Structure 1
Amino acid sequence: MSSDTELAKELGLFSALAIGAGTMIGAGIFVLPATAAAEVGPAAALAFVVAGFVALFTALSISELGTAFPKAGGGYYYINDALGPLFGSIAGWGNWLGLAFATAFYMIGFGSYAAIYLPLPSVFFLSGAQVAALAAALVFVAINYYGAKETGTVQVAIVAILIGVLAVFTVVGLFHFDASNLDPFFPAETGGYSALLPAAGLVFVTYLGFAEINTVAEEMKNPGRNLPLAVIGSLLFVIVLYGLVMLVVMGIDGYETVVEHDEQAVARLAEVILGGAGLALLTFGGLLATASSANASILASSRINFAMGRDRIISDWINEVHPKFATPYRSIVLTGALILLFILYGSVETLAKAGSVLHLIVYGLLNLALIVYRETDVARYDPDFTVPLYPVVPILGSVLSFALIFAMAPIEIVLSVLFVVFGAIWYALYARKHAESTSLVGEAIAPDAPAAADGAGAYRVVVPVANPETQGDLLRLAAASARAHAEVEGGEQATDDGDDEGGSVLPELVAVNVIEVPQQTSLEQKVHFEEERIERQRELLEGAREAAEGMDVAFRTRAMVGRNPGQAILSVVEEEGADQVVLGWRGFRQRREHVFGSTIDPILRDAPCDVTLVRLEDRAIGRLVALAGPGPHAPVAARRAAEFASIDGTTPALLNVQPEPTEDADPEFDPTERGLATIEHVAETAGLDPDEYESEVLIADDVEGAILDAVDAYDTVCVGVSETSAVRRILFGSIAKRVSRESDANVAMIRGPYESHRTIREAIAERLLR
């Protein structure tokens, strides 16, 4: 991996919470209630809580490890690094196969819910639910193979819908709750109290999502804060949710009835309390939940494969990235084949237990890994979050994880032992010859992002570059703007050494390029297998560096790899504390979901600084005009016009068009004077002296038509965006939109910082809607 390539930090706290909760709120709560009730009766509700309580200890441990090493591979990485490749082999295979078992379980749950409304035929020895499960699994494997961009972005919406569905069921179910249905809480026929821990082991598979957050820790903003909040927060929320839902399930009718309904128990009970609408609602919820969990697990499994291949636990051949779709297609196909095999020969109970057992082995080892990191006092281990009550928490996490396995039936215990033996044999025959034989060695593959340049007070402009033909012109505009601000703020132009008699510092440009990676591919994996594209990125940024020579600005480059270029650029803007971001723009998109394009929209909406969007038709800046109207961004546009005019040594014009006075207007009213007053106010607000601009006032019946005719005489037009804060409505119906669409000149669309165009109410509303 290139030493100067950064992995973009794009995931916020809410997105990470959605990943964890979305993976957990799946087939478990929709499919397992009947199986759990058969194991322990009404105490199945308690079994879900106990399983969550056991998971909580591991959640605390993995939060500490994740803030120390936010790595692709999650739990596997920590075990391999701390305990060595022997235990890494066991953990890697356990994680991978455990996800494959869990995904097969989710898919059979999907088929069971699909069978409620669809006449699914049996084929040979396969039930209708298995046929539907196989078809659905093929679809999700194909989605991940082709790398659909939206597979990750819909997760928040799915979680919100599922929580809403379960909330409706729980609230309505409380009105039908009969406490007598919980008596006896531990029926003798199910084994009494002794059945609780085996049942908890069975349903443990429903909590696997909290650990999956760590597989995307490399992509998380502020992981020291957000990772533990996301891991622990999502787990606690789901524990409470599961406990309430299961209590309602067991209280609506006797547990025997729940068992009779089998995998469809929740939907059938919804039909009892809500009729046909309840059946439809919970069926939809069950289909959505199982599909969401399956997709997330397939996605996570490819990242675990990458981590294993990176450490040579398995052959790196499996991680080959598809040349067209940029996904780890071999890993996805192999994982898909295992899932199909497990669907063919596994039942809901068998698959759930297999998924639980393998993950319990991994979680037990993971807690031991934390103890090793702490006790060896390795210098590079510096977590931002530490577990409370150390070493009690990791010891209990390890002991309880293994205890759940040994509380299960003898067949599960034997299988877990055989799996550990398999992992040891794999290590002896393959991994020992290829992997590093020591533990707690090797530095992290992804370097830390370079810190922003030291230079308090320097005016800093971020310039995303992607086209070598236009990047020089963008940098030229950005440098002109940066120099103008440095001169105004410092009094004297700074030297390359940073200081001069005026005490100013050299303004700075930061050129950024982002390589986009699909959800199915680890960011590290993309860089690892895309050296050719990395080299093109390096050449592009080197070209930007050469273009910036002689511009009297400091210059840096940042090479990024991320899933969403817009969010990656936005993260750079925030990290750098940029004063402005200058972006190239090709023109309006036809797709209705984006105004300027999926890369530009989030920057225009969220960047806490000036945003300058430039469509260049000609390299010459020539004569400039800025529209000096009443909008909040007109002064920023005027300031930008003056800065850009310095390139060719011209003087910009500030244009204002006034409507023709109506017949009943005051005879003394002079629209020209009002226009000049407006221009003067815009210029004063922009900090322009009278000799830095020319005034042009037009009087016309058709204001917009007059503006469009007037700007045709200029080479470059600077215009502020609409006052409307919502990105979807920016420029809609505004003169700025018409200018950008109809003018043949260079067009710069300018938006000032947040404070100039959003009220507190708007800011809060937009934050809640993200």
Structure 2
Amino acid sequence: MAKDLERDLGLFAVIAISMGAMIGSGIFILPGIAMAEAGPAVILAFVIAAVLVIPAALSIAELGTAMPEAGGDYIFIERGLGPSFGTIAGLGTWLMLMLKGSLALYGGMFYINFIYTLPTWDLAVPFLEATIAIPGVRALGITFALIFIAINLIGVKQTGGIQLVMVIVMLVILGVFVAVTIVQVDGANYDPFFDEGIDGVLTATALVLVSYAGVTKVAAVAEEIENPGRNLPLGLLVSLIVTAFLYALLVFVLVGVMEAEDLADSEEPMALATELLFGDAVLGGVPVGTLAVAGIILAAVLALVSTANAGILTASRYPLALSRDDLFLKKFEYIHPRFNTPTIAILSTGAIIIFIVATQEVDEIAKMAGAFQILVYILVCGALIAFRERDLEWYDPDFHTPGYPWVQLFGIVSGIFIITQMETREIAGSVAIVILGFIWFRLYASKRVDREGVAKDLARRQTGKQYVQETEDQLDRSDEYEILIPIRQDLTREQEDALIQMAAPIVNKRGGHIRIVRFEEVPDQIPLDTAAAELTEADVEFENRTDELVQYLEAPVEVGEIVSHDTRHAVVNFADRTGADLILARQKATSRLDTLLGRDSDWILEHAPCDVVFVQHERRAMIDEIAIVTDQSPFNDPLKVELADAMADVVGARVRFIFAVPESSGEEFVETIEDYHDELDALCSVPVESTIVRGDDVAALSAELESADVVMLSTMTHRRLPDLIVEQRSDRIAAAIEQPVMLVHSKESRRGTFLRPIVERLLFD
């Protein structure tokens, strides 16, 4: 059974990933170093660097919509120019990302050192009987590197939501900084403008190019982007334009408010500028200057630390991808059996980053990273030309680069020119990676692969597109009632069977089918296509037992598997794409702490395009009575009745409506409830009983529900703080009984306001 990959990254997630990877070293570390090279014209260096990135960004946008595969620039180059160039691109990108992560780690620690002088660490070397003095900035950078290596090894998840929040906070802080400081810019600081000449500007351009490396990072997760034809090119261009404009504004301010010598010598320019302008400012007894410096330092540390962690995560994917394609040592393909992360790739990536942080200077790291980034940009432009000129039938991107081929030729020529303007070390490094890549390919990989670029990929991709089309045709059953049963990795076989046996009577009565989908969630450290290609013991077991279920169930059943980084998004997207009418899922008993932290089930309720039912507790072998706790919900009650009626009709069970009224309720209110139950009874095809319970809601209902084999309750999306204080009624009932509980939520239901749980408490208790 083939596994599908779930697209769950929207436009804002694409922009957040791209900008989050760019807003970091470019503004918090490099302006001072670049100022030393270009003088006041450093602002031009940032603008020119952004222009030089455009050809590669547009090329990646087109390639990503034609081949939305995990892997990004490496995949495009390897498929377009062949495995030899793919080896160079993979190794070059790996090194570039490690250098970028090292730059963020090392440079970020200067901001901490700005407010607290970090002590030197004396490291004893037992075998040499010597002590090595490690500067505190490097030592702290190494410490953070070790922490991030551990985080990536155990597969701690990063989420697009956190990234988006971080980017918004960063933009707000930097926007306030520009708004407050731009009025204090001194034009005299820009005279003379070309202090270091055009050569200085070009050298600075090569230096700051690494600031925009993140714009193409999102291509590595192209296969995970929803609607890539729109979101990939638009996200890349928006993030590049906004970031370039922000860089230009910030550099304009920094040059205009600081003395040239101070800026050129600064390793923490943003903090220094803030201190110079507002360090002693006090407003109403509040030291706003100190708070401003603290805010900038916090923003810098958050941005750079996040960049460093993302650098380890992203960089480790490249040796894994090279190994998977037989271009690198197979041991890098090893996945840890418990944490499901590429252990060897992460450890080797982390070790190299630690070495760079311990031995290299900030400016040298930035220059070398820029050189490798330009090399990859050149190869990406060349790959697009290769695909276009081969006139392949299957190459049909949703986005076409405007100005082809002149844009790509400009990217190639300008990239080569910028490399020639670099210092000897960076030029030698670029040449060395090309030579070493070719040598490695000839001596190691050429014997293991027989690919030659786009030519031999044609047949495979044509077959793949045909398979996808057949699959989509098979899924087009818009006229049938469909129940989606998402199977999580932590469900037992008995729990899976219980869900399926609950769904079967409903589709048999309604005339539809069940879609059983196993959702496999993998850490962000694992590319989705890598996880999808691997057939585990759990996959085989799932296939075998679902085959058995299909044989004895009378209901039509379809089975599939989805690989994603976020199961809840994958479930909702899959239900929307296939037109599911009902999601029937297992839910663990939850606590109030789960409510505060946020439940996946609430996110699904909020975003699902269809009705949702969550099942709690174990299913009983025989179902004789289905109890519906009514609550006068205009949407949930009819849905509960509809589902219960279908189940009861097929399995031969009886249905009972139960409503709890306060002890003080008058007969008029009781008669109103009885009339309401009569209206619900009219919706049923099976005999129905009605019970009115007097007394405390939960206690009285718990006793009355003892005879039931299945209990149906309404559920709503939880409000974190209100539901933490006043627990939702359905949660209290479900926790008080042992019977299987079906928590029903109609897609027509309204969430209600923060007053909902309080009103429930007043009305029903």
Task: Indicate yes or no: 2:367 matched with 1:337.
Answer: no
Per-residue Cα deviation, 1:301-347 (whole angstroms, up to 9, x for no partner): 12211221122221221120012211101011111111122122211
Distance 1:593 1:586, change over 3 A: closer
In 1, Cα distance between equivalents of 2:721 and 2:612: 13
Which stretches in structure 1 are left out of the alignment for 5+ residues?
A: 487-506, 763-770
The amino acid that maps onto 1:560 is I
Per-residue Cα deviation, 1:472-523 (whole angstroms, up to 9, x for no partner): 221121122223333xxxxxxxxxxxxxxxxxxxx11110112221111112
Match of 1:485 among 489, 501, 510: 510
Deviation at 1:713, TM superposition (A): 2.7
Partner of 1:393: 407
Task: Indicate yes or no: 2:715 matched with 1:721.
Answer: yes
Distance 1:400 1:525, change over 3 A: same
Q: Which has the larger displacement, 703-712 or 580-589?
A: 703-712
Deviation at 1:359, TM superposition (A): 1.0
Partner of 2:230: 225
Distance 1:584 1:120, change over 3 A: same
Partner of 2:148: 140
Partner of 2:204: 199
Distance 1:135 1:44, change over 3 A: same
Match of 1:25 among 23, 26, 38: 23
Deviation at 1:145, TM superposition (A): 1.5
Deviation at 1:26, TM superposition (A): 1.2
Per-residue Cα deviation, 1:234-282 (whole angstroms, up to 9, x for no partner): 212211111111111111123322113x111111101123322222111
- Does the CA contact (< 8 Å) of 1:657 and 1:675 recur in 2? no
Deviation at 1:155, TM superposition (A): 2.0
In 1, Cα distance between equivalents of 2:484 and 2:661: 36
Partner of 1:212: 217
- Does the CA contact (< 8 Å) of 2:660 and 2:695 recur in 1? no
The amino acid that maps onto 2:63 is L
The amino acid that maps onto 1:198 is T
Per-residue Cα deviation, 1:428-452 (whole angstroms, up to 9, x for no partner): 2222222335111234699749325
Partner of 2:566: 564
In 2, Cα distance between equivalents of 1:635 and 1:264: 63
Correspondence 1:424-503 to 2 at 5 A: 424-440=438-454, 441-442=456-457, 443=460, 448=468, 450-451=471-472, 453-465=475-487, 466-486=491-511
Partner of 2:651: 648
In 2, Cα distance between equivalents of 1:519 and 1:196: 38
What TM-score, normalized to structure 1?
Answer: 0.89
What TM-score, normalized to structure 2?
Answer: 0.89
Give secondary structure in 1 for the equivalent of 2:327: coil
Match of 1:705 among 699, 714, 721: 699
Partner of 1:499: none
Correspondence 1:94-109 to 2 at 5 A: 94-109=92-107
Distance 1:720 1:113, change over 3 A: same
In 1, Cα distance between equivalents of 2:407 and 2:753: 43
After superposition, the CA RMSD in angstroms is 2.6
Match of 1:304 among 315, 318, 325: 318
- Does the CA contact (< 8 Å) of 2:340 and 2:522 recur in 1? yes
Per-residue Cα deviation, 1:184-232 (whole angstroms, up to 9, x for no partner): 2221xx2x23322221110000111111101111222222222222222
Distance 1:166 1:595, change over 3 A: closer
Partner of 1:492: none
In 2, Cα distance between equivalents of 1:395 and 1:619: 70
In 2, Cα distance between equivalents of 1:315 and 1:120: 40
Partner of 1:244: 249
Task: Indicate yes or no: 2:317 matched with 1:323.
Answer: no
Which stretches in structure 2 are left out of the alignment for 5+ residues?
A: 122-131, 279-288, 756-765
Match of 1:555 among 554, 557, 565: 557
In 1, Cα distance between equivalents of 2:424 and 2:2: 52
Partner of 2:181: 173
Correspondence 1:83-102 to 2 at 5 A: 83-102=81-100
The amino acid that maps onto 1:40 is A
The amino acid that maps onto 1:286 is A
In 1, Cα distance between equivalents of 2:13 and 2:577: 19
Match of 2:745 among 737, 742, 751: 751
Deviation at 1:758, TM superposition (A): 4.7
Q: Which has the larger displacement, 116-125 or 438-447?
A: 438-447
Q: How many residues align?
A: 722
In 1, Cα distance between equivalents of 2:90 and 2:545: 42
Per-residue Cα deviation, 1:569-592 (whole angstroms, up to 9, x for no partner): 222212211000111233224643
- Does the CA contact (< 8 Å) of 1:627 and 1:718 recur in 2? yes
Distance 1:713 1:376, change over 3 A: same
In 1, Cα distance between equivalents of 2:725 and 2:659: 18
Distance 1:735 1:104, change over 3 A: closer
Deviation at 1:379, TM superposition (A): 2.5
In 2, Cα distance between equivalents of 1:248 and 1:606: 43
In 2, Cα distance between equivalents of 1:175 and 1:322: 55
Per-residue Cα deviation, 1:149-168 (whole angstroms, up to 9, x for no partner): 24765322322222222122
Deviation at 1:551, TM superposition (A): 3.9
Per-residue Cα deviation, 1:412-443 (whole angstroms, up to 9, x for no partner): 32332233222222222222222335111234
Match of 2:690 among 683, 692, 695: 695
Deviation at 1:376, TM superposition (A): 0.1
Partner of 1:182: 190
Give secondary structure in 2 for the equivalent of 1:73: coil
Partner of 1:538: 540
Q: Which has the larger displacement, 706-715 or 279-288?
A: 706-715
In 1, Cα distance between equivalents of 2:597 and 2:170: 30
- Does the CA contact (< 8 Å) of 1:513 and 1:541 recur in 2? no
Give secondary structure in 1 for the equivalent of 2:447: helix
In 2, Cα distance between equivalents of 1:380 and 1:134: 47
The amino acid that maps onto 2:708 is Y
- Does the CA contact (< 8 Å) of 1:471 and 1:544 recur in 2? no
Give secondary structure in 2 for the equivalent of 1:389: coil
Q: Which has the larger displacement, 319-328 or 396-405?
A: 396-405
Distance 1:234 1:101, change over 3 A: same
In 2, Cα distance between equivalents of 1:374 and 1:728: 57
Give secondary structure in 2 for the equivalent of 1:416: helix
Distance 1:345 1:723, change over 3 A: closer
Partner of 2:298: 284
Per-residue Cα deviation, 1:373-426 (whole angstroms, up to 9, x for no partner): 011012332212111122222222222222221222344323322332222222
Q: Which has the larger displacement, 638-647 or 17-26?
A: 638-647
- Does the CA contact (< 8 Å) of 1:656 and 1:696 recur in 2? yes
Task: Indicate yes or no: 2:46 matched with 1:48.
Answer: yes
In 2, Cα distance between equivalents of 1:694 and 1:405: 82
Task: Indicate yes or no: 2:276 matched with 1:272.
Answer: yes
The amino acid that maps onto 2:276 is V
Deviation at 1:116, TM superposition (A): 1.4
In 2, Cα distance between equivalents of 1:4 and 1:360: 37
